[in-house]
Amino acid sequence: MRQAPRVDIQRIERVAIVKLSSIGDVVHALPVSAALKRSFPHLQIAWITEERCAEMVTGNPYLYEVITIPGKAWRHSAWHPHTWKEVRQVVGTLRSRQFQLVIDLQGLLKSAVVAWLTGAPIRIGYHWQREGAWLFNRVVPRAPSSVHVVQEYLDVARYLGAETEPVEFPLYIPPEADEKVCCLLEEEGIEPSDRFISINPSAGQPFKRWRTERWAELITQIDRQHRIPVVLVGGKADRPLVEEIRSRTPAPFADTVGRTNLKELAAILRRSAVHLCGDTGSAHISVALGRPVIGLYGPTNHLRTAPYGQQHRIITHKHECPVCNRHPRREHSDCMDMITVSEVMDTLQRTLLEVTTHA
C-alpha cells in the first residue's frame, strides 16, 4: 500500500470525509470531524454518507455540509436509467465542491470510488484499506497504541497535525425529536422525569443476537427486582423479535420498535439510565451521548468495536469459546449462547449503582 504524503493542512481549505455506512461506524468516525475543526478552524469540512445514515451527521456543528448518496437503492437498481441519472447528478455535486483533500474512513472499494469521483488531488485513508481501496487512496499507518476503531480513525487526524483530545462525538438531536419522544414515552406510561432502561434486542447479523427468550427472562428479572420501566428500541424489521419477547414474558415493557427515526432513537437513548444491546449501532449512539452501555458480544473483536471507553461493561465469552479457539474467523452464535441472564443482571445492578452514585 502507498503511504499517505505529508499534507500542509494550512494550505487546504475544502475537505471531505467519506464514511458511508453503517450507523455505528459513522458514529465511530464523528470525532475526526471535531478534532480537525477544533485544530484548524479555517477548514470547510463536508461529510459524504449514504442516506440511511445521514441523520448521524446532520446538525454536526463542525461540518460545513452533508452530502448524501442513495447507497443501497443504487445497488438494488444499478442498471435502471434513473439510477444513472442520479449518479451523474451526485458526481456533478462532488466535482463542483472542488475538494482539495478527501479522507476515506470506510476503506472499501465503494468509498474509495466515491473519494476518487470528487476529483480531489489528495486522497488519504485510515490504515485498513480493503477490496482494492488502496489503489485509489494513500494509506495513513496505524499507531501501535490504536486498538479501538475510534482511535484508528483518529490516527488520520493526528497525521494531519490535529489535536485529538478530548475525544468528542458531535451527535446533534433536534428539539422536535425530543418532543416526539416525550409524547411517545408518555403514551407508554413513562413520564419525562422517570428513569428507565433501554434495550435493543436486535443486531445487524443474526449471529450477533442474544436469544429472545433470554431477553424476555432479563425483562422479567428487571421487573421483579428493580421495578424500573424497560423500553425496547429498534427498527421496523425488528418487530418479530418484539412479538417473540412479548410472548415469553408477563412483565410489561414500553415498545418503541419501528416507531422512531435515528434522531428520535438517539433522544430515547439519551434519556435512558442504561442501555443494553448486542454488537449494534445503538451501543455507539449511547456512547456518543454519554450514556452507560452494557454490551453483549459474541465472536466479533470487542477490543476494536466495543462501546468506546466502556469496555469494562462488555460481557463476552469469546476467549473461552471452543468454536472461536478452533475457528477464529467463523461467524457463529455459541459465544452469545454462553452469556447468562444472571451475569447480565449482575452487570446491570453494578451499573445502576454507579449511575445512582454519580447522579
* 257 plus 180 within the same structural domain: yes
Nearest to 297 by CA among 211, 210, 214: 210
Looking at residue 318, its pLDDT comes to: 85
Looking at residue 18, its pLDDT comes to: 97
Distance CA 164, CA 38 (A): 9
The percent of residues above 70 in pLDDT, for the chain, comes to 95
Query: Rg for the chain (alpha carbons), in Å?
Result: 21
Residue 3 lies in a domain: no
Residue 166 lies in a domain: no
Looking at residue 84, its pLDDT comes to: 64
Strands 65-69 and 44-50, sheet pairing: parallel
Is 80 exceeded by the pLDDT of residue 351?
A: yes
**136, 115 contact by CB (below 8 A):** yes
Higher pLDDT, 322 or 124: 124
The percent of residues above 90 in pLDDT, for the chain, comes to 78
Looking at residue 15, its pLDDT comes to: 98
* 43 plus 148 within the same structural domain: yes
Looking at residue 82, its pLDDT comes to: 61
Q: What is the pLDDT of residues 159-210, one digit of tens each?
A: 999 999 999 999 999 999 999 999 999 999 999 889 999 999 999 888 899 9
* 192 plus 338 within the same structural domain: yes
Range of 265's domain?
175-358
* 18 plus 108 within the same structural domain: yes
Nearest to 285 by CA among 260, 271, 306, 266: 266
* 138 plus 208 within the same structural domain: no
Last residue of a domain, one of 97, 129, 159: 159
301 is written with which cell numbers? 473483536
Looking at residue 327, its pLDDT comes to: 74
- Of 75-89, 197-211, 259-273, 292-306, the range with the lowest mean pLDDT is 75-89
Peptide bond into 22 cis (omega under 30): yes
Looking at residue 135, its pLDDT comes to: 86
Looking at residue 73, its pLDDT comes to: 55
Q: Quick one: angle between helices 281-288 and 23-39, nearest 10?
A: 30
* 230 plus 132 within the same structural domain: no
* 184 plus 57 within the same structural domain: no
Residue 130 lies in a domain: yes
Looking at residue 230, its pLDDT comes to: 98
**231, 199 contact by CB (below 8 A):** yes
Q: What is the pLDDT of residues 67-105, one digit of tens each?
A: 999 866 555 555 556 666 777 888 899 999 999 999 999
Residue 57: CATH number of its domain = 3.40.50.2000
* 193 plus 326 within the same structural domain: yes
Tally the domains of the chain: 2
Residue 304 lies in a domain: yes
What is the pTM (predicted TM-score) of this model?
0.94
Looking at residue 359, its pLDDT comes to: 64
Residue 139 phi/psi, 5-degree rounding, is -105, 130
Question: Residue 45's beta-bridge partner residues?
Answer: 15
* 152 plus 183 within the same structural domain: no
Question: Residue 277's beta-bridge partner residues?
Answer: 200, 295
* 123 plus 206 within the same structural domain: no
Residue 1 lies in a domain: no
Q: What is the mean pLDDT of the chain?
A: 92
Is 80 exceeded by the pLDDT of residue 26?
A: yes
* 229 plus 121 within the same structural domain: no
Last residue of a domain, one of 109, 130, 159: 159
Residue 69 lies in a domain: yes
Nearest to 272 by CA among 251, 252, 250, 294: 294
Classify residue 66 as exposed, middle or buried by CB count within 10 Å of its CB (0-12, 13-18, 19+): middle
Looking at residue 72, its pLDDT comes to: 63
Residue 23 lies in a domain: yes
Residue 323 lies in a domain: yes
**270, 278 contact by CB (below 8 A):** no
Looking at residue 330, its pLDDT comes to: 77
300 is written with which cell numbers? 466479533
* 289 plus 184 within the same structural domain: yes
Looking at residue 344, its pLDDT comes to: 98
Looking at residue 333, its pLDDT comes to: 80
Last residue of a domain, one of 99, 128, 159: 159
